[in-house]
């Protein structure tokens, strides 16, 4: 967060969109209703996580397409689409189409690397090419080039009664400037800066140069801006889990505290071979949370946030949390709702 004298500029939220596998429609409808609520409350952005072979949103672009027709102002993003599951050319077409439908409100966030549990799903995902697939940054570079209007074919013109383009259609002007990278490492943050991307800083980082979460994240923000064409003006958004309790019922408060307590042990030390560090969930009154945010070394460097909603709560819990964020926490951080 900036200093208390400097207002928070953009306030967003992030959801995983959980649903019941036996009856998936209500969960998807809940996600769309939450996004509509966010717009009514004045949030600047709503972001979707991406979950494959789980009971969370597997097709965020499809959900964003639906959300684009139920909203008029709020920006709509992904945090993040793992490109190991995607063909960059087809994804570029989908993103451009939805951006056109939304009136230029799409903010795609992506990441690279092999899909999770790749050995278990490669025969379904890439049955003939698994050993040849490139899961490196090149996959992002391809997506950026195609979204920016780079050639996708060596042919354009008329063939019979059909007209062909050598570039992705439709072309969404400005979408290339709204591409975000979800970086958990110093190298990824630097790479994103070198390629002019915005940075999504989340609640997970790799413990490389330190075991202090805020210090690690601060180094990522500084690395991005040191290598980005826009320097200190390069956009960075943070996505900590934030759960204000100002209007929560006693039962909700107890549930929220139990949720955070169960997740706290993983925040103490690096986890697994990748040495992942997790940020602690922030639960309390908006005043208490604002004080913690102002003290966060990395958050003092940014003026955009997309607070993450907990994974497994009920619709009414999300309504209470979002309402408290927009009406109490946001103003405590100097933010004013969009109109």
Whether 197 has a pLDDT exceeding 70, the answer reads yes
Q: What span, in angstroms and rounded, lies between the C-alpha atoms of 151 and 166?
A: 5
Q: What is the model's pLDDT at position 259?
A: 97
Q: What is the chain's mean pLDDT, rounded?
A: 96
- Helices then strands, counting H and E runs in the chain, come out as 11, 16
Q: How confident is the model at residue 293 (pLDDT cuts 50, 70, 90)?
A: very high
How far are the Cα atoms of 6, 146, 287, 304 from residue 88, in angstroms, in the given order?
Answer: 39, 8, 43, 28
d(CA 265, CA 277): 11
- Express each pLDDT in 264-291 by its tens digit: 999 999 999 999 999 999 999 999 999 9
CATH no. for 10-154+161-332: 3.20.20.30
Domain boundary assignment for the chain:
10-154+161-332
pLDDT, tens digit, 9 for 90 and up, residues 294-327: 999 999 999 999 999 998 899 999 999 999 999 9
In 3-state terms, what secondary structure has residue 311?
coil
- pLDDT for the residue 297: 94
* For the chain, percent of residues with pLDDT exceeding 70: 99
Between CA 236 and CA 183 the distance in angstroms is 11
Q: What is the mean pLDDT of the segment spanning 36-47?
A: 98
Give 124-170 pLDDT, tens digit per residue.
999 999 999 999 999 999 999 999 999 999 999 999 999 999 999 99
Check if the beta carbon of residue 146 is closer than 8 Å to that of residue 88.
yes
Q: What is the mean pLDDT of residues 243-262?
A: 98
pLDDT score, position 123: 98
Q: What is the mean pLDDT of residues 215-230?
A: 97
Integer Cα distance of 185 and 236 in angstroms: 15
Q: Is the pLDDT of residue 1 over 90?
A: no
Phi, psi dihedrals of residue 158, rounded to the nearest 5°: -105, 135
* 17-30 pLDDT tens trace: 999 999 999 999 99
Please compute, for residue 203, the number of CA atoms within 13 A of its CA located in the half-sphere on the CB side. 20
């Amino acid at each position: 967060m900036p200093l208390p004298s400097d207002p928070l500029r953009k306030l967003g939220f992030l959801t995983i969109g959980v649903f019941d596998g036996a009856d998936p429609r209500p969960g998807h409808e809940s996600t769309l209703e939450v996004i509509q609520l966010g717009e009514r409350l004045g949030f600047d952005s709503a972001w979707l996580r991406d979950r494959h072979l789980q009971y969370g949103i597997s097709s965020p672009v499809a959900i964003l397409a639906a959300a684009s027709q139920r909203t008029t102002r709020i920006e709509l993003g992904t945090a993040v689409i793992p490109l190991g599951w995607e063909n960059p050319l087809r994804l570029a077409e989908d993103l451009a189409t939805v951006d056109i439908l939304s009136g230029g409100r799409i903010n795609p966030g992506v990441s690279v690397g092999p899909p999770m549990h790749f050995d278990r799903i490669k025969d379904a995902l890439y049955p003939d090419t698994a050993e040849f697939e490139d899961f490196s940054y090149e996959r992002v570079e391809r997506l950026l080039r195609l979204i920016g209007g780079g050639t996708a074919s060596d042919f354009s013109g008329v063939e019979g009664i059909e007209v062909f383009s050598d570039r992705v259609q439709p072309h969404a002007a400005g979408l290339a400037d709204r591409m975000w990278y979800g970086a958990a490492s110093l190298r990824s943050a630097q790479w994103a800066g070198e390629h002019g991307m915005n940075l999504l800083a989340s609640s997970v980082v790799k413990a490389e140069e330190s075991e202090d979460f805020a210090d690690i994240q601060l180094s990522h923000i500084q690395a991005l801006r040191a290598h980005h064409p826009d320097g200190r003006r390069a956009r960075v958004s943070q996505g900590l889990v934030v759960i204000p309790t100002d209007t929560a019922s006693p039962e909700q408060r107890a549930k929220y505290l139990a949720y955070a307590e169960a997740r706290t042990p993983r925040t103490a030390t690096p986890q697994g071979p990748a040495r992942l560090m997790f940020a602690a969930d922030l639960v309390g009154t908006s005043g208490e949370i604002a004080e913690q945010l102002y003290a966060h070394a990395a958050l003092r460097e940014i003026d955009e946030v997309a607070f993450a909603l907990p994974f497994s709560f009920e619709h009414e819990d999300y309504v209470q949390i979002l309402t408290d964020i927009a009406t109490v926490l946001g103003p405590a951080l100097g933010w004013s709702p969009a109109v």
